[in-house]
Structure 1
Amino acid sequence: MPTTVDGVHSGAPCGGSPPRCPASSSQPSRSGRGEANLLLGGGFRTPRHDAVEAAKAERAGRSAADIQAEEAAQVPTGRLGAVPEFAAVGAFLCSDRASYRTGTAVRCDGGLVHSL
């Protein structure tokens, strides 16, 4: 269901729960390895995220840089992620080097979620 976040329309649903995976990690895949892994993202610098920050800044009468600094301060790494960082983790999970890793949820969020 499409949502609106801070005045910016999104086709993606919002929610705090990871998506449900229809396959069980104990079920073999066509490739012979279990492939039921989840890649859980956090805040990433994207054009949509920039638009949300700009809308938020405009409503508050502040600069986008101020809003960006506040958001970055909430992440233990002190910054939002870059899309290539998320893609690299996803590429690893799809690679032969991760072929024995199955039934896992891997966070790529800069430490934003304070749990294992």
Structure 2
Amino acid sequence: MTGLLTGLALGALRAGMVDVLVILALLVITIAAVGLVLAHDPVTRLHFLAPASTLALPCFGAAAVIEQGLGLGSAAIVLTVVAGALSSPVLTTSIARLVAAEDADRPASRSVR
């Protein structure tokens, strides 16, 4: 009987941890999305991509690993999260350089009064 109660308690704790991680990730994404909408230029918008890739992605990955348990599927999840964490800064920097180069090529707009 105590094994059953321990199993239920651990299952509830595991489900609670998954819920907290998913809610935290969704909160980070929501805040980043609001900042993205309020930002005016493309380079500033790219800065709001960082929390989604550095905070939300690992939270979702950890929640999936906890939910799934240790195994081959969890290894695939960890590999995907690590690949995303390593490639996201490089891609963001490349996009920012491209946007900055395009802005430098455009003639300055002058308003006529």
Q: TM-score, normalised by structure 2?
A: 0.38
Q: Which has the higher contact order (CA 8 A, sep 6+)?
A: 1
Q: TM-score, normalised by structure 1?
A: 0.38
Higher strand share: 1
Higher helix share: 2
